[in-house]
Amino acid sequence: METENIQKTEKKSFFRSWKTLKVRSKIYQIFVHLFALMALGMIGAWAIYKIGLTNDEGSVDPHNRYLADYKSMGALTDSSKIYDAKLQNYIDLAILNRVFPTNAHLIYEACHEGTDPERVNQMIYACNMYLQETDNGKRFEEMRKEVNSLLARYPASTSTDNAIPWMNDPGWPALKRAMVNDADKIRKAAEITGVDARLIAACTVGEQIRLFNSHREDVKRYLGPAIMSVQSQFSLGVNGIKDFTAAAVEAHLKDPTSVYYMGEEYEHILDYDTAQMHDITNARFNRLVDYHNHLYSFIYTGCILHQTMLQWKRAGYDISDRPDVLCTLFNLGFVASKPNPEPRCGGSHVSVGGRIYTFGVLGNDFFYSGELSDEFPMPTKIFRD
């Protein structure tokens, strides 16, 4: 009892003395005590660390065996092995997309064209570690075995033939070399006219194939050394552009009221210099039949494609992503370009290897073939806005 009375007295004494302290003294004492507590906490933490109470010795992951069992795809030393490995990547991703599309999408997006197929295979393998724990994962393995088993039943062909018949013609390799020689000019014309280079090249391919197979004996001496043949009578230059068509192109560039008008930035791309103004017809002819520089042939081609696309678009029909139709209309000319809801592929008939093709199909075949993709990559958009 006496002890309790003493403690109560001491508490009252403490509170009385605390109340009598100035605010500054109270704040000081609070900071001192807080600092002391922090110091004790730090010393305690240090002691626990030194004793080793925080050490986590860890353990072997349950998936260690799976990760260690990864089988390398082997040395991919030649292009054919790399190609086969990439195809297997695509097959695996297509199957993964059936069960876990999120992961298939992430891996696909992470694996751009230059990614090592071994790395892609490792990504799929790492994902499969968790797939095994799910019913969908089991389905992934079952489908993978089934697809690969099916492919194994049909050995890969050793044929070097192209699925597009006319590309097996002896004249095609020579024309490809000629296209490579003129690739810089075609790309420059594409930039000037706001049309993708591959579409301009498609029209050139169609015209050259038509010309070569119409007058094979006369022109193969030009194609042999990989030089494109140039026409110089009714249809001019490497793309067979008629004089009156070229004149119409020039007029459309200057006329803001025309349905073919391309805009102010294009108005002067085909201007003549002062010395040429006295005889524009002859100057135009010389532009198109120049044996050494085909740039103007490609510029006129780009303009025809761009102007035709705009004509249809202004009429309410978008053919900006129809290379078959655009090549057809390039071949037939402005007079045949009549916007309608059902544009058709066609044009001049061209015989190659005993088979008849239309100009529009030849251009479309090249555009989507993958041929010469280094010189003329596949575009995301054919026309510049």
What does the block give as tokens for 197? 């280079």
Nearest Cα to Cα of residue 120 among 153, 48, 59, 72: 72
pLDDT at 229 over 70: no
Question: What pLDDT, on the 0 to 100 scale, is given for residue 84?
Answer: 83
* Average pLDDT across the chain, whole number: 83
Nearest Cα to Cα of residue 337 among 324, 325, 350, 348: 325
Across 267-279, average pLDDT: 87
pLDDT at 52 over 60: no
**Higher-pLDDT residue of 44, 269:** 269
Question: What pLDDT, on the 0 to 100 scale, is given for residue 3?
Answer: 57
If pLDDT is split at 50, 70 and 90, which confidence band does 123 have?
Answer: confident
If pLDDT is split at 50, 70 and 90, which confidence band does 61 have?
Answer: low
Most confident of 82-91, 101-110, 215-224, 239-248: 239-248
Strand locations in the chain (E) = 231-232, 235-237, 241-242, 349-352, 355-358
pLDDT at 38 over 80: no
Kindly report the backbone phi and psi dihedral angles of residue 352, in degrees, each rounded to the nearest multiple of 5, phi listed first: -135, 120
Tell the residue number behind the tokens 């009714």, with chain if given.
Answer: 234
pLDDT at 220 over 50: no
For residue range 127-142, what is the model confidence (pLDDT) as tens digits?
Answer: 888 877 777 778 888 8
Across 80-105, average pLDDT: 88
Question: What pLDDT, on the 0 to 100 scale, is given for residue 49?
Answer: 55
Kindly report the backbone phi and psi dihedral angles of residue 215, in degrees, each rounded to the nearest multiple of 5, phi listed first: -135, 55
CA angle (124, 128, 131) in 5-degree steps: 140
Tell the residue number behind the tokens 């520089």, with chain if given.
Answer: 293
If pLDDT is split at 50, 70 and 90, which confidence band does 261 have?
Answer: very high
pLDDT at 246 over 90: yes
SS3 for 211? helix
Question: What pLDDT, on the 0 to 100 scale, is given for residue 301?
Answer: 98
If pLDDT is split at 50, 70 and 90, which confidence band does 221 have?
Answer: very low
Contact 306, 193 (CB under 8 A): yes
Sheet strands side by side (includes 231-232): 231-232, 235-237, 241-242
Across 299-315, average pLDDT: 98
For residue range 296-305, what is the model confidence (pLDDT) as tens digits?
Answer: 999 999 999 9
Contact 375, 179 (CB under 8 A): yes
Sign of CA pseudo-dihedral 291, 188, 331, 203:
positive
For residue range 176-196, what is the model confidence (pLDDT) as tens digits?
Answer: 999 999 999 999 999 999 999
What does the block give as tokens for 328? 């057809």
Distance between CA atoms of residues 66 and 79, nearest Å = 30
What does the block give as tokens for 161? 């033939």
Nearest Cα to Cα of residue 300 among 180, 178, 192: 192
Tell the residue number behind the tokens 């704040």, with chain if given.
Answer: 27
Kindly report the backbone phi and psi dihedral angles of residue 241, in degrees, each rounded to the nearest multiple of 5, phi listed first: -85, 130
Sort strands 231-232 and 235-237 into parallel, antiparallel or unpaired.
Answer: antiparallel
Question: What pLDDT, on the 0 to 100 scale, is given for residue 158?
Answer: 81
Question: What pLDDT, on the 0 to 100 scale, is given for residue 218?
Answer: 45
Ordered DSSP codes for 338-357? ---SS-----SEEEETTEEE
Q: What percent of the chain has pLDDT over 90?
A: 48
Distance between CA atoms of residues 227 and 292, nearest Å = 9
Nearest Cα to Cα of residue 297 among 261, 249, 345, 262: 249
Question: What pLDDT, on the 0 to 100 scale, is given for residue 223?
Answer: 45
Question: What pLDDT, on the 0 to 100 scale, is given for residue 140?
Answer: 87
What does the block give as tokens for 36? 């002391």
Kindly report the backbone phi and psi dihedral angles of residue 231, in degrees, each rounded to the nearest multiple of 5, phi listed first: -85, 150
Region of poorest pLDDT, from 102-116, 247-261, 264-278, 357-371? 102-116
